[in-house]
Structure 1
Amino acid sequence: MTDKPMTLARTARLPVAALAVGLLLAGCATQQTTYVVGEPAGEAPAAAPAGIVLEYKMPAGRALTYTTSEEMAQVMDVMGQAADMFMKGGGTFTFTAKGTKGQDLLLGVTIDDMSSTMSGPMGDMSPDMGPVKGKSFDMVLSPLGIEVDASAAEAITYESANGTSNVAPTFKLFFPDLPDRAIEIGDTWTSAATADDTSGGMNIKLGFENVNTFEGLEIVDGMECARIKAAVTSTISGTGSQQGMDMALSGTGKGSETWYFAVKEGIYVRSVSELTYDMSIAVSAMGMTLPVTQTRKGETKLVSKK
């Protein structure tokens, strides 16, 4: 932060800068996949046999419907003035088996519902999610949970205070990654993923690394599930323009996630997570760097299986 005295013009632009930064980060919050710590989901764990193999299975005719919920609280300091924001959102998505593509699974995805509400220093800044409801696209998922191709979701757009955004980031990190080997209780494996978002006037890059631990078996909704606890670290970086001002952001996040995978059925069943980011936003026109803390909580749950 500069030590020079603030001019009247510069002081007057502070609310604009705060709004622009808030919209930028709230836009990221609308689209990010959440990672968070969980509660026990079912009955007492069963004894796990040696060498469990986890694999996604989507036989012909299978349709899985999930609901997601997410909350984000953001604290930003602008020259000693608090500029807090709060976001709450979620959606209902149905994934339908459409066969295979090479060794991978071809899925048809329907956005049954999607919502997001945002409030901040300037009042309600909620995007209009109406245009995405009922829209469909195809994606490709590997048997180990890697989203091979979700680019078709980029064509499904909505309008926010940041401009035009798309839903692709929601689906590029939707499914947990599975180990590429048989696992026993106590085994760990590391999974990593990245997601890029170039909508809303910004180029944002998110990176995640999960250290997963197989804790045991548990009955969830009548299915024997592997319970996985993950320690999550994340990075975020980006550049672009908001409200006519050039910005650059960087930061790191840390949290945890507990998720459940039905062993026999090959189905992702549930996850709960919590992640806290510490970030800085450089606003070149203001000669300022703004500290931001963002806490995110979320849950994904399988609600229908056909």
Structure 2
Amino acid sequence: MFARMYEDCGVELGALPSTGARVLCIASAGDTAAALQQAGHDVTAVDVNPVQLAYARDRLAGGATAEGSAETLMRLGRGTAGVLLPAWRGPALRAFLALGDPAEQAQRWRTALDGPGLGRLMRLALRPGGALAVALRPSFAHAVPARFDEVLRRRLGRTVAGHPNTRNPWMWRLLAGIEPPGTQPLFAPDVRLVHADVLDVLEQAPRAAYDAVTLSNVLDGPGPAFAGRLRAAVRRAVRPGGIVVLRSFREPTTTGPGWAAQDRSALWGVVRVVRLGADPAGTQDRRIDP
């Protein structure tokens, strides 16, 4: 499904202690697991998809990056934009991604890239029944906000106005489908890879087995019963005072984007970073501010 990850591991690295944490994460394409292991943490990466897990294992051993289903869809979208919109063609787009001043990036985004043409293309591509809806499972599609084309354009604009492009590999991946110049292959062979559903792993883990879990957007698809089981399993498997990170495509219900504005991938509407309380009822849980 995914050849690269579109989640900024800087969120996890900023919330965890500097080294030595026992962390459970979603394997996906391996990027977050590699960053955590390279930072000195003891990492277990879980994925229910055996093909995705095998790909992550190969990348973590220094293997090449391929193209997944998500990247194929994005490549087709970028190709259409490049044909119709000069600012989205290769040289012009790479010049934009090489900028390092967020103020200049924001101005260029408003005047050159985010025009009526892009709006029409994204509205067509992200409409209900379009390529995105076909690619997503029906149970997951409800997590994508209405008029996601407009929502995503706002998130992209927020990101380029807040973070230097030249140091944002997630923006290079999303807009150009490539890594910034000088990017090295992943290499984190000590990551422990597990083929399983993350809920099963958490429910079967010893009590307080982990100092932190980062669960991507696993709650965007399943219903309340899964969410309840996951909450209980996390409380059992993560030590009191441990960290939980969750992402969602949904728009935030509270004021301000919080950690979502710090996640340089630009995709997420909600990024929650929570420190678990010591009491069984969880009344001492506390969100960690970015």
TM-score in terms of structure 1 length: 0.24
- Structure with the greater alpha carbon radius of gyration: 1
Structure with the higher fraction of residues in helix conformation: 2
